[in-house]
């Protein structure tokens, strides 16, 4: 296949969302170098002519007389519009030299990083990482949500995860980070190895915690307080096995998680939100089933109307 046909086929397959991640790298590199200008303009010709028989033409200059600069600019708009359409169902998005991974509700994604490390991204999450790590360090950013990391050991390149005001540093280990925007706290839990967690930009010793297996750091976003506790780390990663598990969880957090998962609003007085509870559900369990069991275990009752639920303490019967 000659160069011209190769470029035309590359653009055609991009429009059809049929490129692999490696081919996408080639596509955007060639576009940045201007080598796709003619192929993009040709594709725009086809897109513009698709409805020619159905639409009465206006008395404008023929497309062939329009300047190449204008055609290329229009082609770029075509690419952007296509990319916006792909965004809805392609979890991997290229942003320059970075990759953004997005998961929707009920969706999980396994990611292989450039160094071979693995990440499992929980539902309703966003993570950003470079297409190629730097020579002296490896860094990813958990923008929102929850992720389990299994990091390849490399003592010459420490691995960092930034998440909502915290930085987790590792050499080679496995750990979980929960950092959803609708929760007021961040949890880092170690299942294997050792990590160091500190407030982003902070160097003072009280801001820094060393974690071993079955240890967890709790960071309060509002107060910036950071604490270390002992836990069963298996509970923190139960979501990987399709479980919705709460381990001595504040009820306010449970409510926020259910609101996000089921797109509902749950009303409850502050005293109920301060309850602590432990429970395990399948990720496929319905909201009524979950509310039934939570209410029974905590002597509560609920009322559901449309997408709003009111939780209250159960009234004593006479």
- Considering the chain, tell me which residue range(s) the CATH 2.60.120.1440 domain(s) occupy: 94-236
Could you give the CA distance from residue 115 to residue 133 in angstroms, rounded to a whole number? 8
pLDDT in tens, 178-203: 999 999 999 999 999 999 999 866 55
The better pLDDT of the pair 23, 89 is held by 23
- At 208 the pLDDT is 87
SS3 296: helix
Band of residue 58 on the pLDDT scale cut at 50, 70, 90: very low
Which residues belong to CATH 3.55.50.30 in the chain?
A: 242-313
Cα distance between residue 65 and residue 125, in whole Å: 47
CATH topology of domain 94-236: Jelly Rolls (2.60.120)
Whether the per-residue pLDDT at 283 is higher than 80: the answer is yes
Which pTM value belongs to this model? Answer: 0.71
Measured CA to CA, the distance from residue 48 to residue 25 in angstroms comes to: 27
- Checking if the pLDDT of 126 tops 80, the result is yes
Domain at 242-313: CATH code: 3.55.50.30
Averaged over 297-302, what is the pLDDT? 94
The average pLDDT across 228-238 equals: 96
Determine the straight-line distance between the first and last CA of the chain, rounded to whole angstroms.
85
Q: Which residue has the higher pLDDT, 212 or 52?
A: 212
Residue 49 has a pLDDT of: 57
């Amino acid at each position: 296949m000659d160069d011209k046909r190769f470029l035309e086929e590359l653009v055609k397959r991009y429009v059809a969302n049929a490129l692999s991640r490696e081919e996408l790298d080639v596509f955007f590199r060639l576009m940045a170098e201007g080598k796709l200008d003619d192929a993009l303009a040709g594709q725009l010709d086809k897109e513009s002519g698709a409805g020619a028989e159905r639409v009465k033409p206006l008395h404008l200059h023929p497309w062939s007389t329009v300047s190449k600069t204008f055609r290329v600019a229009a082609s770029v708009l075509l690419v952007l519009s296509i990319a916006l359409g792909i965004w809805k169902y392609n979890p991997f998005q290229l942003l320059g030299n970075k990759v953004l991974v997005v998961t929707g509700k009920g969706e999980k994604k396994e990611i292989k990083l450039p160094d071979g490390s693995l990440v499992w991204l929980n539902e309703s999450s966003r993570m950003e990482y470079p297409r190629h790590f730097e020579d002296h360090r490896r860094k990813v950013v958990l923008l929102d949500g929850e992720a389990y990391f299994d990091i390849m050991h490399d003592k010459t390149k420490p691995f960092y995860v930034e998440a909502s005001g915290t930085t987790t540093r590792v050499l080679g280990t496995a750990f979980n980070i929960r950092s959803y925007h609708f929760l007021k706290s961040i949890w880092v839990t170690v299942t294997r190895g050792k990590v160091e967690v500190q407030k982003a930009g902070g160097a003072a010793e009280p801001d820094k915690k060393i974690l071993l297996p079955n240890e967890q750091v709790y960071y309060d976003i509002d107060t910036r307080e950071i604490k270390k506790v002992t836990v069963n780390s298996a509970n923190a990663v139960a979501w990987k096995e399709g479980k919705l598990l709460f381990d001595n969880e504040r009820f306010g957090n449970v409510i926020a998680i259910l609101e996000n998962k089921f797109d509902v609003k749950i009303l409850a007085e502050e005293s109920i939100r301060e309850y602590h509870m432990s429970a395990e559900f399948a990720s496929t369990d319905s909201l009524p089933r979950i509310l039934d069991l939570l209410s029974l275990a905590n002597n509560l009752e609920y009322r559901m109307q449309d997408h709003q639920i009111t939780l209250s303490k159960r009234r004593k019967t006479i």
